[in-house]
Structure 1
Amino acid sequence: MKSAAPTLEHDESRASSTRPRRRPNALALLERAAILAVLAVLIAVFSVKEPAFISIANLFSILQAVSIVALLGIGVTITLAAGGFDLSVGSVAASAQMAASYVLVVWHGNAWGAAAACLTLGIAAGLFNGVLITRLHVPDQLATLGTLFLLAGLQLIPTGGRSLATGTILPDGSEASGVFPDGFLALGRARLFEVVPVPVLVLLGVSVVVSFVMASTRWGRVFYAIGGNETAARLAGAPAARYRSAAYVASATIASLGGLLIAARVGRGDVSAGHSLLLDAVAAALVGYAVWGARRPNVPGTVIGAVFVGVLLNGLTMLNAPYYLQDFIKGALLVVALAFTFSVGRRADARG
């Protein structure tokens, strides 16, 4: 006759099988919430120290400031998903804003012509990267690094290294007499309902579209498949070279859109505009790996990563932190948050 009561060995084995499942759940929650928790703490601390930080005007000012970085980060995210890494986005954006300025103040063009010049430059830069990588088999980082230097130098040639605005003397001795039309400047300066800046709306639209494509369409699944194992994806019939080229075209086109918004916001072609964009965009894309435990390139995480950096820099500025400490503090917080997130995730996997 079998006993209805469970044995001691059964109880112990049952307890031992249930204990490890609880701890990974807690660790997984910590992994997912780490970056968001740090962001919430930053907002709380800055709001207490400086009440103006939490005002609607300042919050939208932060979003406007990070919109360009987030756009470039989205481009980097697409290439990361396809197993690449676009280092040229900062130079593409800087060259695009110089191209728009040249069309307006030297060629006396209109806003549509300036926008077309920006996007054409972005598509051409993306195709150039794609040819280098998929046809000439240059490693992604080296190819896009070459494009970075090529465009950084190319944008300086038409103006002799000067920023470009109305009244600028060109290398041939002529004067740039064109102007930035109000309709063009509205792209960078106008606000919907006097509150929401146009660049924030552009970022929202691009984020929604790219998020949908990457998460819910066959194209997005193929991008991730190529990034995970390009050989396997190719053997399964995916045109890997075509998709990788498309990723770089998309990245450069989005970066050129960012350059268009820079030109519209500052009202001139600034030769120093792209100096810090690359590092911040890459930081945003890499932070995206850790947002909500995604552990892969993703657009919402990239946008949150850009907001994380923007909140930190804005808060430090409002608290009058020395400028020479801001990069150090930004780097330290990013390292701590990412190290905590990924170490927790690894422990959860090991115990799961």
Structure 2
Amino acid sequence: MTTIDEEALPKTSTVPQSHNEDSRTLALGSFLRAGAVFILLGLMLIGFTIAQPAFINIGNLMSILQAVSVVAILGAGVTVTLAVGGFDLSIGAVAASSVMAASYAMIVWHLDVFATVPLVLAFGAAIGLINALLIVRLRVPDLLATLAMMFLLSGLQLIPTAGRSISAGLVLPDGSKATGAYDPAFLLIGRYSLFATLPVSVVLMAVVAIVLFVLTERTRIGRLLYATGGNEVATRLAGASTTRLKTLAYVISGTLAALGGIVIAARVGRGDVSSGGSLLMDSVAAALIGFAVLNLRRPNVLGTIAGAVFVGVLLNGLTMLNAPYYTQDFVKGAVLVGALALTYGLGRNTDR
């Protein structure tokens, strides 16, 4: 009877090859999910630069950031309300009403920048507080409460001027003529650039992003905001006041919307009744794209800023390539669907 020398047999790996392949697939999927938005952004920058070399000029890049600054600021407000499990549909109407309020304060009431800015910011905070009272005290669903506020503000902003835009020489409904003018210092908010290249509105966007990032990601209040959105009952049982947290979120949202309206008013130099038409959808799109940034799958301020820049780069590039304006909304929608599908679709397939 022959014996088999086990040491002479070829050695085989104890780890199946399929396991290593699965690990590499998971790692690749995790990398793609975390960097999907930045990968696509990099590809767009390269593609638009090749197609139109002027795209990468510092002046054009600054104009992109200036164009998206208002959307990013409003999107940050939407992000905070999403963090507490809510949603603010009135943010675009608050911004548009703030444009009219700032114009009315200077053209009709002859106020200067130091009175107008605090007044408009207080107006936005008051709207946010009313939204919060409807939601947390009267138990009105957030979508219904903010939708009602959106319609209310859209009509209210037209009443003082009988539906006319506000500019120097405005004829009021009583027949009198407004003799005020925009404060030149106020216009600097939307038109001045630091060091001749960095617009003030971009600086404001950066300040809002940093402050809200620290608040939501590095403080106890921020953790409680997310906890409220994740499990309101558990957060309340842990001793936190979810009523105050939700109120804070909507007041921040209203204040940021008013700040966005101030930037718009300072940029255009008049109270245009049609201002703010697309602000709601653009800011919501930025906030939703932010879910895909770094694969966080939750509302986050830096993701929202990245989402706003992403959309701004896309639209600017299409404009420089003379793409028809009527295709822009379709492209924005396709990119939003693609970014979210890439994030959540890969997550479903690779997390198994």
**1:197 maps onto 2:206 in alignment:** no
Contact 1:164–1:269, Cα closer than 8 Å, also in 2: yes
Aligned residue runs from structure 1 range 145-224, under 5 A: 145-224=147-226
User: Which residue matches 1:76?
Assistant: 78
Aligned residue runs from structure 1 range 209-288, under 5 A: 209-288=211-290
Contact 1:35–1:341, Cα closer than 8 Å, also in 2: no
Name the SS of the counterpart of 2:159 in structure 1.
coil
**1:311 maps onto 2:313 in alignment:** yes
User: Which residue matches 1:299?
Assistant: 301
Structure 1 unaligned blocks of 5 or more: none
Contact 1:24–1:349, Cα closer than 8 Å, also in 2: yes
Contact 1:288–1:304, Cα closer than 8 Å, also in 2: yes
Aligned residue runs from structure 1 range 83-122, under 5 A: 83-122=85-124
Cα displacement (A) at 1:16: 5.8
1:67 to 26, 46, 69: 69
Cα displacement (A) at 1:14: 6.1
Deviations 1:203-245 (A, max 9, x none): 1011001001100000000000011111111111110111001
1-structure distance, mates of 2:158, 2:29: 51
Cα displacement (A) at 1:167: 1.1
Aligned residues: 347
2:329 to 327, 330, 337: 327
1-structure distance, mates of 2:186, 2:230: 41
Structure 2 unaligned blocks of 5 or more: 1-5
Paired letter, 1:289 = F
Name the CA shift for 1:337/1:108 in 2 (closer, same or farther; >3 Å). Answer: same
Report % sequence identity: 55
Name the SS of the counterpart of 2:351 in structure 1.
helix
**1:32 maps onto 2:39 in alignment:** no
Name the SS of the counterpart of 1:234 in structure 2.
helix
TM-score after normalising by structure 2: 0.95
Cα displacement (A) at 1:19: 4.6
Name the SS of the counterpart of 2:103 in structure 1.
helix
1-structure distance, mates of 2:20, 2:220: 38
Cα displacement (A) at 1:21: 3.1
Paired letter, 2:229 = G
Paired letter, 2:53 = P
Paired letter, 2:36 = A
2-structure distance, mates of 1:114, 1:307: 29
Deviating more after overlay: 70-79 vs 13-22: 13-22
Paired letter, 2:171 = I
1-structure distance, mates of 2:124, 2:333: 30
1:132 to 134, 141, 153: 134
1-structure distance, mates of 2:50, 2:245: 48
**1:54 maps onto 2:61 in alignment:** no
Cα displacement (A) at 1:20: 3.3
Name the CA shift for 1:10/1:117 in 2 (closer, same or farther; >3 Å). Answer: farther
2-structure distance, mates of 1:117, 1:98: 12
User: Which residue matches 1:348?
Assistant: 350
Name the CA shift for 1:12/1:157 in 2 (closer, same or farther; >3 Å). Answer: same
2-structure distance, mates of 1:263, 1:126: 20
Name the SS of the counterpart of 1:226 in structure 2.
helix
Deviations 1:289-311 (A, max 9, x none): 00111111101100010011111
Larger radius of gyration: 2
Deviating more after overlay: 275-284 vs 116-125: 116-125
2-structure distance, mates of 1:330, 1:206: 24
Cα displacement (A) at 1:270: 1.0
Paired letter, 1:39 = L
Name the CA shift for 1:219/1:195 in 2 (closer, same or farther; >3 Å). Answer: same
Contact 1:96–1:117, Cα closer than 8 Å, also in 2: no
Paired letter, 2:183 = P
